[in-house]
Copies of this chain bind each other. A is one copy, B any other.
């Protein structure tokens, strides 16, 4: 396998980068182990180890010799696209790392660690006042972070870019304006006369973990997930995907014991993330251009598998026999029941349990509030009321507790502001990718019905996965689809599926 890296400066950079890569590999394994295996009192030593590794990685990234090499590479003419990708990714990482003074990072780490505990307690006791002072500190930290990072139009831009390279508040605003205008009447229409139900008896059916484990493994095998060869499926409190490189990509799921679509759809969702990492170009191994380019693009892959494939009528038909084989109660239901159950639309309070149509409203709400925190000096104490009003306006329901309202997500306690919009970007992009793929694979639905996933995976690999992080997300989209993110596709998809 010939190396794609020929330039001597780039080679010198990658030689030095290898230990940063190795530390990242270790951090990922430690993180995965913590969620999947770690005995509970291992937390103290694990946290200290993770903290040290994280400082170490920063130190190597910001070592003068390394930074100088990257600076030098920026001036070299005639680098190939892979080499330019290396320079772009590292330059961005260095710029972001350099922005924050060490004291700020320490403060951030201390505040968020305590805020997370306060949030847990506040959520458990449904008492917002326990979290309120911490949220104010986090808003303050987020503002300072934005100032350190710098921005053109407004502070929120700086945070958005952190999670989705090049994304601006204006773009997100435009996207949500359009979505709200189109989707609100659409949601009402779906609720009144749509083809999908607001609830289904399958939501209440109970199962044993082993039953759904067999179903999930069957599905993953149909997808061609290389279990035991390059991947694993494990169990954790919150499903996630992690990669330790290109050849060891692991997903987790969870088994609630009821409402079995949750474990299926979360497994299918994580498979989408994993496939992105598994289908990287192996020549990028150990380099900073291996791996998905952004949260939004990554989420488009998981949502593609979850929403476009996992919630399709053909997929319901495909998995019906294995469901019937493992779940005795399925004898009372048809494949169409499974399809309807997977596509329930019902305004509800919890984002992570939201259906495809209402999901984006949950994100829109968070986007609005985050923007107000950053740009308009809104304080934590005002947020619960703002949250509830917005829920009522968008979905017609009003949380009765903080736990089902403003305290439901952990993100803010972690200091993560500006992340939520990437979820919507992923959701919208998934449908956009679908319509593009349909041009090349007109019998897409038949292929899903017959479990012929290879052409679908190959399409994703060629258009998106194999490019790793070479191009920034917007450029990748242009190359892959010939256009930018366009919410119209999602609206069309909702209409076609739900009306």
Contacts and interface: CB of A to CB of B under 8 A. Distances in A.
Interface of A: 18-19, 21-23, 25-27, 29-30, 33, 37-42, 44-46, 48-49, 51-53, 55-56, 226-232, 244-248, 250, 285-286
Contacts of A40: 228-229
A244 B29 CA distance: 13
A42 B228 contact: no
A37 B247 contact: no
A226 B41 CA distance: 10
Contact of A52 (B18, B49, B51, B53): B18
27 contacts: A19-B52, A21-B49, A22-B51, A22-B53, A23-B52, A25-B30, A25-B45, A26-B26, A26-B29, A29-B33, A33-B33, A39-B228, A39-B248, A39-B250, A41-B226, A41-B229, A44-B247, A45-B245, A45-B246, A45-B247, A45-B248, A45-B285, A45-B286, A46-B244, A46-B245, A46-B248, A56-B56
A430 to B, nearest CB: 27
A53 B26 contact: yes
Nearest to A20: B52
A38 B230 CA distance: 8
A230 B41 contact: yes
A31 to B, nearest CB: 10
Contact of A39 (B29, B37, B230): B230
Residue of A29, A33, A227 with highest tally of chain B CB at under 10 A: A29
> Main SS of the interface on chain A?
helix
A219 to B, nearest CB: 18
Contact of A226 (B18, B39, B44): B39
A63 to B, nearest CB: 13
Given A22-B48, A30-B26, A33-B33, A42 B244 contact: yes
Given A26-B53, A33-B33, A232 B39 contact: yes
A229 to B, nearest CB: 5
Contact of A247 (B27, B42, B246): B42
Given A23-B53, A39-B230, 13 more contacts: A19-B55, A19-B56, A22-B51, A22-B52, A22-B53, A22-B56, A25-B45, A29-B30, A29-B33, A39-B229, A42-B245, A44-B247, A45-B244
A489 B40 CA distance: 40
Contacts of A228: 39-40
A248 B52 contact: no
A53 B246 CA distance: 19
Nearest to A246: B45
A19 B53 CA distance: 7
A44 B244 CA distance: 11
A445 B170 CA distance: 77
Contacts of A37: 232
A329 to B, nearest CB: 26
A157 to B, nearest CB: 35
Contacts of A56: 19, 22-23, 56
A245 B38 CA distance: 12
Contacts of A23: 52-53, 56
Contacts of A247: 39, 41-42, 44-45
A227 B39 contact: yes
Q: What 5 pairs across the A-B complex have the smallest Cβ distances?
A: A42-B248, A45-B245, A22-B52, A26-B26, A25-B49
